Chain A
């Protein structure tokens, strides 16, 4: 099973600041990595697929990068609605696995 480790667990930032979230895989997942956003009480929402492609309707302030084992989700300037939990997920190998999540909270 591929283990995804997200860091930091919590990120405390102010609106307008830049957020950088990390996801590290225990073995290569090529570019088969996605990022999801989950707001309280809501279902996860797809943000980024295949490491760097924004899903339909996702604002341009969200960007993804990386390949192999190291990936980054960047939010260039935080909006109030961006304070949420973010998960990475790999589809390179079964079982599908998710990272433990990074909570982006208001400082």
Chain B
């Protein structure tokens, strides 16, 4: 069974930093591209970042470019999101999502981890 489990969400002050993790199981993590998607309280979904299976290709949404770093450790089946210079508007549930090799679609999602940026 495919499972994605996020962790690392917390309350942090504006300007602070946080590192999120997503541990994958039930599939060959090395073979799959991954994404982070976030959802502010009561709002819709916003794509944050993408990393290919080998980390050769990385993309960010404009709202986080230059502040967030995505990385992965295939040996640990883990995906990371290093967030710096956090803003109040970064407050959201952060989901990791797998990209299907067959369809290119976000086929499995974790349950999310809540990041709250507030003073």
Total A-B Cβ pairs within 8 A: 56
Mark each residue of chain A from 73 to 99: 1 if its CB lies under 8 Å from any CB of chain B, else 0: 000000000000001010100111111
B47 at the interface (CB under 8 A from A): yes
Mark each residue of chain B from 92 to 104: 1 if its CB lies under 8 Å from any CB of chain A, else 0: 0001000010011
Mark each residue of chain A from 29 to 66: 1 if its CB lies under 8 Å from any CB of chain B, else 0: 00010101010001111100110010100000000000
Check B106 against A89 for contact (C-beta < 8 Å).
yes
Chain A residues touching B, majority SS? loop
18 contacts between A and B (CB under 8 A): A1-B62, A34-B105, A43-B95, A43-B110, A44-B45, A45-B109, A46-B105, A46-B107, A49-B103, A49-B107, A53-B103, A55-B105, A91-B104, A94-B50, A95-B47, A95-B59, A96-B50, A98-B45
Q: Which residues of A contact B (CB under 8 A)?
A: 1, 32, 34, 36, 38, 42-46, 49-50, 53, 55, 87, 89, 91, 94-101
